[in-house]
Structure 1
Amino acid sequence: MPHLTRTAWGTASTDVRIGFGIPGFAHPLVAAAEWSELTRPGTPLKWVVLNVANGPGERPDPHCLEAAGRLRNAGVRVLGHLDMTYGARPFGELVSDAHRYLDWYQVDGFSLDRCPTERAALPEVRRTVATLRALIDDAHIVLGHGTHPYPGYAETGDQLVTFTGPWSDYRWSQVAEWTADYPPERFCHFVHGMPRGHLEEALRIARWQGASTIYFTDRVGDGGTNAPWESMPGYWDEIVSRIGTGVSE
């Protein structure tokens, strides 16, 4: 059995209203069906990451602009992908990419992929996030740690990705005790290589661990940063129907 926990939010943790966060589909020319599917009414979607070329690219892309516009018109947040490379990326480069995303695609916030997790890096991440928030009113900031970071990061981002990895790890994963001090809306889990037959079990783990934003897929990576997420899972319709319509935000 996976590790189960009751949070400070009580038994309500099993009644978490789950919705999707999309880590980043392939380019709209390659994954046209995926981008189109996201605007289907009733899809429980919280946000979608726009990753043009491991960032905003060198010039505006009309296909990405059209895809982002359709999502915004449907009331879906679009987040720009910023790769922090675990703290190695210079501050100026991150801010420059953020400006391009805002100028070219009118994003609603940012997903900071490969975000550092350690306490020592927290001041620089805070500086980056404060600068990003100054660019956009009500910017939505997702810190893509992929694992449980030092607890102080929870006061910096709107949401934290506290699990990114294969189903073989997720099914035995444990949640950090400090997460019980925060509502499920603060946490995201991204799981790849998950067979259809384990869908209900995976949703149960997310609810018990207090994560209300998820993306589960049967796709597996081939070494690329976003490879498992570039296309929809084979059971997309099933997971949409299990989660139901509408989101809690």
Structure 2
Amino acid sequence: MLDRDTTPELPPGLALAWGATPPPRRGPKPAHTVAQIVAAAVELADADGVANASLPNIAHEVGVTTNALYRYVSSKEELTVLLADAGWGPPPAGLASSGDWRSDVRAWTRAVVERLLGRTWLLDLSMRGDPVTPHRLAWTEVLLRACSLAGVGEEHLLGCVTLVSGFAHATAVRLATPTTPAEASAVRDHLAPRLSRADSAGLAALVSAGRYPATAEDRETFFTTGLDPVLAAVAGLTGREWETVF
């Protein structure tokens, strides 16, 4: 097994996510595994949001004291990294394997949005930097393959990941708390005259056409026409610089 202490420069939780064992501490031998602690945290988050996956609640769930949890994780930050990776879980088997890169990117985006809407507490976790844990990297690998299939050069692959995953995350945020049709209508009535006076012609046109704000009924639009500009940007990176795409 890997030894977490041999790589102190790693970000919190990374070594544990890849199978390291917690460093030994004085006292009784731990009665649980890190995986069991994380599973309890996921259960609590699924039940009532990420705030419910607090250290005291996890400790109560597994039948130990809060202080005893530090035999498994060194900090709440470390637990958060493990919780996020477990919450994402692996991508669905066979995801984005049609052989058509546009279909694959659409499928990946839909799967990400569905995963985030299935566990909206993932949207509440502040995850910094590029994915580095096993499950989150597995999702990234699927998207990288789809972008590679499009003919995107290696120098632009991570840019494509940022572009597509950013769209997926933003879409999930919008759909997680959708505006009802009645609310949207009221908002449009309120905004229409004010946007005209504020010299916001672009937004005024969208409001007038009933395209802003979006409602739950517009969900499929995000996966069809809403994703088209993103696909166009990916297509534009098959041999040209970013500046030539937009």
- TM-score w.r.t. the length of structure 1 is 0.30
> Which structure has greater strand proportion?
1
Larger Rg: 2
Superposition TM-score, scaled by structure 2 size:
0.30
Specify which structure has the higher proportion of helix: 2
Greater RCO between the two (CA within 8 Å, min separation 6)? Answer: 1
